[in-house]
Amino acid sequence: MASIFSRIIAGEIPSYKVAEDDRFYAFLDINPLAKGHTLVVPKKEVDYLYDLDDETLAGMILFAKKIAARIRRETGCKKVATVVLGLEVPHAHIHLIPMNDENDVDFHKEKLSLTPEEFNEIAEKLSR
Ligand code: 5GP
């Protein structure tokens, strides 16, 4: 069965899209640690990041780099944390999280509850 992220990429499940090309898709995490928390996913469905072929893995980092620059520009954060967990969804993905302090990337923290309007506004800013 297709992963939830493949279904998002296919448009079967809605998402707040930030960017897309022929190989990768970026969208806002629905349970964000901070405004701008974005997931970068390869369209190719592979569970473990380091099982991706070298070309896809390298391309994914370059794709994430562009999104990270936009997150930094729009949030004014010190740096964008790049985190790979993958314990919940078995489809490789990179978390890009605006960060000013190491506590900003504590996944045990309570997640933000944003309205659709807030998600739309962030996605719109990050898509430029
Ligand atoms: P991980 O697999 O890296 O441990 O966690 C998966 C991440 O994907 C979580 O941060 C979770 O909030 C996010 N996530 C899970 N399902 C969905 C979904 O349907 N839509 C969006 N936008 N994010 C999701």
C-alpha 76 to ligand 1 mean position (Å): 24
Q: Which of 37, 93, 95, 108 is catalytic?
A: 93
Q: For 95-128, what is each residue's pLDDT tens digit?
A: 999 999 999 999 999 999 999 999 999 999 999 9
Whole-structure pTM value: 0.98
86 lines ligand 1 (CB under 6 A): yes
**38-42 and 24-28: which strand pairing?**
antiparallel
Q: What pLDDT is attached to residue 124?
A: 98
Q: How confident is the model at residue 81 (pLDDT cuts 50, 70, 90)?
A: very high
At 83, list the tokens: 């985190």
Q: Which amino acid would we find at residue 2?
A: A
Q: Which domains does the chain have, with CATH numbers?
A: 4-126 (3.30.428.10)
Atom of ligand 1 at shortest range from CA of 89: 2
Concerning whether 93 is annotated as a catalytic residue, the answer is: yes
